[in-house]
């Protein structure tokens, strides 16, 4: 099973965006993989709004955002976690089969990958890169 996370604009002024989570199967042919009927909407990742810039840059607010994001993902993935341990009967090709579904990958682009790692891809962030997670104060310290 694959999960797709991508930012979607919700208004014409491009001020409101949401992050839907779609589920799809990994063995669907590539030509059909991005069609509407090949995936299902599981839900949206909630986001916190700050009152001002100082609150948005505070450590407490960043921790709250991280906890909210990971709690939302844990809530959406909980049924899959249970079924992956116990298994499930599925009717496939005129017969009943026993499956153990697993989360294969999470497909995301750069902003969503940064969100999952609690970093933001700018030079002002604490960890500018979600691959290496080097603190931005140590970026010029090679050794």
Residues 6+ apart with CB under 8 A from 37: none
Q: Which of 138, 121, 76 is nearest to 103 (CA)?
A: 76
Triad 107, 109, 113: Cα angle to 5°? 80
Report yes or no: 71 and 47 within 8 Å, Cβ to Cβ.
no
CA separation, residue 77 to residues 1, 27, 47, 131, 134 (Å): 11, 20, 18, 23, 29
| Distance in angstroms (rounded) separating the CA atoms of residues 41 and 112 | 17
For the stretch 44-77, pLDDT in tens is 888 788 888 888 878 888 888 888 888 888 888 8
- The pLDDT > 90 percentage for the chain reads 0
- Identify the band that residue 5 occupies on the pLDDT scale cut at 50, 70 and 90: low
**pTM of this structure:** 0.61
**pLDDT for res 93:** 82
């Amino acid at each position: 099973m694959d999960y797709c996370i991508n930012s979607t604009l919700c208004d014409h002024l491009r001020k409101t965006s949401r992050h839907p989570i779609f589920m799809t199967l990994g063995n669907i042919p590539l030509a059909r993989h991005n069609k509407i009927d090949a995936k299902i909407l599981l839900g949206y990742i909630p986001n916190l709004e700050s009152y001002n810039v100082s609150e948005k840059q505070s450590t407490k607010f960043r921790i709250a955002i991280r906890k909210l994001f990971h709690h939302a993902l844990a809530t959406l993935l909980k049924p899959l976690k249970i079924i992956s341990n116990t298994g499930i009967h599925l009717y496939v090709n005129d017969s009943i089969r026993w499956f153990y579904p697993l989360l294969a990958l999470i497909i995301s682009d750069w902003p969503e990958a940064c969100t999952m790692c609690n970093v933001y891809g700018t030079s002002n962030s604490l960890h500018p890169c979600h691959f290496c997670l080097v603190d931005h104060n140590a970026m010029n310290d090679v050794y």
